Structure 1
Amino acid sequence: MMLRSVQMKVMGLIIGIMLLLICIGLSIVLGYTDTSIKTAFEAFQAFNGSNEHIVIQNIRLPRAIIGAVVGICLGIAGAMMQALTKNPLASPDIIGVNAGASFFIVVAVMIFSVNSLQAFTWIAFVGAALTVVVVYFLGSIGKEGLTPIKLTLAGAAIAAFFSSLTQGLLAVDESSLDQVLFWLAGSVQGRKVEMLYGILPYIVPAIIVTFFIASKINILTIGEDVAKGLGQRTALVKIISGIIIAILAGGAVAVAGPISFVGIIVPHVVRAIVGQDYRWVFPYSAVAGGILILLADVAARYVIMPQEIPVGVMTAVIGTPFFIYMARKGAKAS
């Protein structure tokens, strides 16, 4: 743990927020269309209809805002998932959020001929939320009730199930692949801020509740018996945590598609900085998640310029070596 005192953690969080704002600025300024900080200010203070001002206002600003929001959601959801399952490799992916949302999108395109990005948002959000409900139900079956190992296994099974169904449907009707490929890759390119309006009323309260139950999560991670001995209603805490994961991970995948590894990487980095206290892990994870998505998105613009690769590909490139490292570290520890 690098930051031990409360004062250092507060200062670190302030610095992190400043870095997040800087990354938002970089996302607005950098890209194929050559712009500068001065151009960005002029685009909002003295809009003249030029190509540069249009790009900044209509493309890059929404992209930066959506990237930050998606990163915040995935960072918190990943930290919550790892705390709940006591699995250092857990993330929203492991409970099938991405797979469930993807399946619902493919079904909507193939059966109902949906092709609206706005409609995709709601369909994916509902699909992700229902997937979490199913996983929680399956993980609760049995005398012990909901346990970390059962939740992890149920999530992995549901993710594999939905992924298989999705691949099967796309194999039957390859024409649908072209319509959903841009969404399945995971990207914040071409998204509109309006896509956030429908889910923000759910995301904001979920984030606020996360900070309020952080101390209860701390107790739960020590052990369920200890938590019950201290009078905690562990079942209620788990249910609230599951709802938060469903809303945050579902909202992120609904807007940007299935972006992997952010929920795995961020909590580990954050815990190395502030320790295991989730009263600090959650806000730090939110900031770090936003920074990671924004930096990955900026880098994705330059890899094969003038073309761009989806930010989901960049996070996979970053996250895969990290995942292998954590898996090997866990194997050695065991």
Structure 2
Amino acid sequence: MGGARSDRVRRARSRPVRLAIGLLAAVALLLGCGVLSLLTGSEPVAFGDVLRVLVADDRSEPAIIVHDLRMPRTVVGICVGIALGLAGALMQSLTRNPIADPGVLGINAGAAFGVLVAIVGLGIGSFTGYVWFAFLGATLSTTLVYAIGGRGDDSGAPVRLALAGTAIGAALVSATEAMVFLDPKAFDEYRFWIVGDIAKPELGVVWQLLPFLLAGTVLALSLGPRLNAIALGEELGTALGVGLLRTRVLVGVSVLVLAGLATAAAGPIGFVGLAAPHLARAVTGPDQRWVLPYAGVFGAVLVLLADVVGRVVLPSGELRVAILTAIVGAPLFVALVRRRRAAA
């Protein structure tokens, strides 16, 4: 008996070390995906050339490809993936809803609608200009989804929230289509942006993204202990000194910042926020202090891998990131809904 107990104690003490090593391995995987992103494209660049142009300042063809095209694309992909992975993990934890996702619950659609208002209605074409409209649209859609899906005896049930998000998303898509028809000149810019992609980022977008990403990430990671306490039950969480309303507000602010900046920078990319937290929990278990950083890293890996595959899967041209994430994420969404229905 004593030996079994001591083994459990040793395993419990060694678990943080193993998770930390696993997180470092995940970061190493992300760096490898970043290198792969720099190497892959219609004009392949040798690994040696990539290393050379990263440390040397020249204007050779490989340097132009890496610095002007693939480096901004890779960094934006990492930022967007981290933001979506963290946003999805926060939503799934707070709502105890395994299918919660900025796309499924209508946040992406709301942010997209806000950006389109800026582009079509006000002629704003820069990230710093329309990111605020993305935040406003995301806030509006989130409020509507929870106002509709959170009513009734089964308020906050996964299916109710998913259906409310789908309905709100469909309404916002209809509104955006109407706006495009009213301003045909904006069609090309809207068509590229609404598909969801990181293929043509401006170099300045990288630096404009970072303050929002850092603020949202720091806030998200700081909420891990609070979310662990709430997971024990709202009454016990309150007894442990966690303010439920304050936690919900902070989670909402973090999700809106992260999902809003991701949508503003790359368009609405779905299912990354759904899949990344599930991958994280498969490694870490339910401890949100570890789920959150793992979900951010896995989200970035998913976006970069989708972007790399999209560059090479077609004989000519590229397949957008959002299309590939939907191909992978839609079956996962169906499987999760079916599993929850069977459990119920």
After TM superposition, the score normalised by the length of structure 2 is 0.87
Alignment of 1:133-144 (within 5 A): 134-135=143-144, 138=147
Deviation string for 1:175-230 (max 9, x for gaps)? 53322111101001110231133342232122112222201101112221221233
Q: How many Å separate the matches in 2 of 1:220 and 1:210?
A: 15
SS at match of 1:94: coil
Structure 2 segments unaligned to the other structure (5+ residues): 1-10
Paired residue for 1:222? 232
> Displacement of 1:160 after TM fit?
3.4
Matched, 1:148 2:151: no
Q: 17, 21, 24: which is aligned to 2:27?
A: 17
SS at match of 1:200: helix
After TM superposition, the score normalised by the length of structure 1 is 0.89
Matched, 1:166 2:205: no
CA contact (8 A) 1:129 1:247 kept: no
Paired residue for 2:320? 310
Matched, 1:290 2:300: yes
Q: How many Å separate the matches in 1 of 2:145 and 2:336?
A: 26
Total equivalences in the alignment: 329
Q: How many Å separate the matches in 2 of 1:219 and 1:157?
A: 32
CA contact (8 A) 2:127 2:264 kept: no
Q: 181, 187, 194: which is aligned to 1:184?
A: 194
Change (3 A) 1:48 1:197: closer
Q: How many Å separate the matches in 2 of 1:12 and 1:141?
A: 37
Identity, in percent, stands at 33
Change (3 A) 1:295 1:320: same
Matched, 1:275 2:285: yes
Structure 1 segments unaligned to the other structure (5+ residues): none
> Displacement of 1:173 after TM fit?
4.8
> Displacement of 1:124 after TM fit?
2.8
Change (3 A) 1:192 1:179: closer
CA contact (8 A) 2:112 2:264 kept: no
RMSD: 2.6
> Displacement of 1:318 after TM fit?
1.1
CA contact (8 A) 1:77 1:92 kept: yes
> Displacement of 1:319 after TM fit?
0.8
Comparing 265-274 with 189-198, greater Cα deviation is found at 189-198
CA contact (8 A) 1:23 1:295 kept: yes
SS at match of 2:103: helix
